[in-house]
Every structure is written in C-alpha cells, then in structure tokens.
Amino acid sequence: MNFPSKLIEDAVNEFSRLPGVGKKTALRFVLHLLKKEQSDVLQLSDAIKRMREEIQYCKICFNISDGEKCSVCSNSRRDERLLCVVESIKDVINIENTNQYNGRYHVLGGVISPIEGIGPEQLHIDQLIDRVKNENVEEVIMALNPTMDGDTTIFFISRKLAESKVRISTLARGVAFGGDLSYVDEFTLARSLQTRRPFESYLSKQ
Amino acid sequence: MNFPSKLIEDAVNEFSRLPGVGKKTALRFVLHLLKKEQSDVLQLSDAIKRMREEIQYCKICFNISDGEKCSVCSNSRRDERLLCVVESIKDVINIENTNQYNGRYHVLGGVISPIEGIGPEQLHIDQLIDRVKNENVEEVIMALNPTMDGDTTIFFISRKLAESKVRISTLARGVAFGGDLSYVDEFTLARSLQTRRPFESYLSKQ
C-alpha cells in the first residue's frame, strides 16, 4: 500500500502492529483520527504514552497499579484470608468484574510451559510461597486457565504449599451458563457429572 | 468494566473511541502494549501525535500532504491533462494502489447530500472549476462512489463544467472481477449489458 504522506504511513504501520489490526483497519483508524479534533487525538496519544511510562506493578501481588501498592492490596476492606492466584492482569480484571470476590490476588505472570520454555523460576511463585508463610492466608484459590499448563502449575504450587496448612482450591469445572450440552466436550461433561451438587445448595448460593 | 489502574482505564477509553473498537478490543490493545518495549509504545504514541499535528492538505488538490504541495501535484512526471475527482483521501490511496493511473487528483471532501445537509459550497467544487479553467486539463474523470449522492454531484459538476470544452468521464459500471452473476443487482447487470464491450478490446487492455 502506498500512502500520499510519510506521516500517514508511519501511523498506519504503528497501528497495524496492534493485535488483530491489519493495514486496512489501521488506515481506517488514521482517517478517523484525521477528522477528529486535534485535542481528542492528542488525548489518545498521551494516554498511550503515560500508560506505558508511568504504569507500575504492585510490589505485593504484581497486579498493575498507579502506585507501589495496587488498589486491591491497599484496600483494607478486602479479605486477607483469601488469596486468588491468577495467570495475568487480565484475569484480575475479569474476576473483579464479577463483583463476587472480596479477597486479594497474586499474579503469576504466566504458567509453567515446557514447550514455550517457561519454568517456575520465571514466574512469581517464590513470592507466592512467601506471602502464604508471612500473611494471614487461609485459602489459596487457583484461578488459572483450565489447560494442561495451568493444571501443571497448580500441581507444582500445591506441592510447594504442602508444608503450610493453607487450604488450596480451584475454580469449579462444569458446563457454562447458557451453554448447550451437545457442544460440551466429554471430559467437562464427565467431570460435571462426578462433581454434581444438590439442587438446594445451588439455589442457596444465588 | 473496572480497571485496577486509572492509567489503564484512560487508555482503554481512548482506544475504544476508534471505529469498530469496543472495550474488550481496547483492553487487548492495552495489555499488548504493556508487554512491548517502552520505545515501541512511544513510537506509536508519537506517530499518532505527529500525524495529527503536522499533517497538511495540498493547496492544489486537497489531498493529504507532508508539505504545501502533495507528492502527486509536485511530481512533474504525472500527466497534467488527466484530472481524477474523488470524494476523499481514502479514494486517492485506493486509486494509487492500482498503479494504473498517472494523472492528478482533486479531492472534493465529500459529495452533495441534501439529507446530511452538505451543499456544493461546503465542497471543493469552485476550486475544481478554477483548476479546469487555468490548468491544462483535457479530461475530468469523476471517480465518485456509485451512489445517488455521487451521481447528483457528478451531474452538478458536469453542468458547471459545460462551458469549458473539457471531456468528462465516469468510472465504468459493471460486474466486478471474481463476482457471481446471481449476486449482481439488476441495475448493474442491465447497465453492463447495455455498455458491453467487444472481447478483443478487453484483451488488448490487459
């Protein structure tokens, strides 16, 4: 694609590095921005710059944060007995948006993956063990993605935590709300049959 | 959606103002950028800022440009006898990418649209008439979108240009390459039958 201006070309090239954005979409973004007020465009440019330059990671849980401690760790009303272990910041955002969890988090920064060459030492596992030792944690909720690597990581961490008497739990696996049983794979269906629950307990949790 | 950081929230909000980008896609962009090198992210931010601040419009044809005259108008090897009238900058880029056109352009900045309240005085029509009078133009190619408003604009301009002896042409209408006749609307099909061409002339143009 040829562009009548080097400035446009640069902007299109930069936009097209974003995930899922090709040259055509990038050009659409650029032509859209050209029509907008200059102040609006500078706001976008500035938000991107500040986000990358000023962002910090919480010293305790490795969540993204505007300061040294993230908004969850610095909130004294969050239950410090519950610790939810997640893979990435995205999972923190997802769980926060359920409005159902009032404990704290620990962001691993990935999962153990021999294929991708990610070992336990590259993740924040040691820090997790230290937190469980030193903080008042009663239950560690392993909210990792339900994959082979996720399960390996849960197993690895659970062995490391075996000495401490902390309770370890994982997310319930089963059929999703609004799903269709014919599209559920047999492992999930088998597991959800084995771990079936009395209907009353389901109602009382609502 | 709640975000653990105000910086992230601002960036997501700004990204989600782009066309076709919702909050989830915006968050994906942001998390992608967080993982990238700081210099790469600053390049994106900078390209957006410079594009909007430094972009100019060509004084002759109203195409986007890095200087007072765009790369087409300042190129002496372009045929000044051909003038292609288009709606927007995007159309210039599209036609340039065919590598088949060696004339110059004139960007109207839209088409006459009574419904959207766009009259001829809001477009660069007067400048087009002046150019045809003062420059060495022999043919004006009306490459507007094949819509009702596009046709109205072509009609309006052709009447304004009637005094000068310039030739006025429009893009050929017909079935598209690789299309399926059963999906072509009847007007297009009828038109392409009426304006059918000898097969030899088609071959010789290849």
Helix (H) or strand (E) holding A107: strand A103-107
Q: Give the CATH number for residue A125.
A: 3.40.1360.10
Residues B114 and B184 occupy one common structural domain: yes
Does some domain include residue B146?
A: yes
Domain membership of residue A159 as a residue range: 78-204
> Is residue A33 predicted with pLDDT exceeding 60?
yes
Q: Give the CATH number for residue A18.
A: 1.10.8.420
Average model confidence (pLDDT) across chain A? 89
Does some domain include residue B97?
A: yes
**Number of domains chain A is built from:** 2
Residues B45 and B124 occupy one common structural domain: no
Q: B4 and A50: CB-CB below 8 Å?
A: no
Residue A100's pLDDT is: 87
Reported as a single tens digit per residue, the pLDDT across A84-103 is 999 999 899 989 888 889 99
Q: A10 and B52: CB-CB below 8 Å?
A: no
Do residues A80 and A136 touch, judged by C-beta distance below 8 A? yes
Does some domain include residue A73?
A: no
Residue of A1, A14, A94 to mutate for B, most B C-beta atoms under 10 A:
A14
Residues A36 and A82 occupy one common structural domain: no
Question: Is residue A64 packed enough to be buried (19+ CB in 10 Å), middle (13-18) or exposed (0-12)?
Answer: buried
Does some domain include residue A55?
A: no
A35 touches chain B (CB under 8 A): no
User: Going by C-beta distance under 8 Å and a sequence separation of 6 or more, which residues neighbour residue A148?
Assistant: none
B49 touches chain A (CB under 8 A): yes
Does some domain include residue A22?
A: yes
Reported as a single tens digit per residue, the pLDDT across A1-27 is 778 788 999 999 999 999 999 999 999
Reported as a single tens digit per residue, the pLDDT across B100-128 is 899 999 999 999 999 989 999 999 999 99
Rounded Cα distance between B206 and B204, Å, is 5
Q: Min CA distance, A65 vs chain B (Å)? A: 5
Residues A84 and A21 occupy one common structural domain: no
Residues A88 and A186 occupy one common structural domain: yes
57-76 in chain A: CB under 8 A from chain B: 63-66, 70-72
Quote ipTM for the complex.
0.79
Does some domain include residue A144?
A: yes
Q: Which of A14, A41, A43 shows the shortest C-beta gap to B44?
A: A14
Residues A31 and A92 occupy one common structural domain: no
Residues B104 and B178 occupy one common structural domain: yes
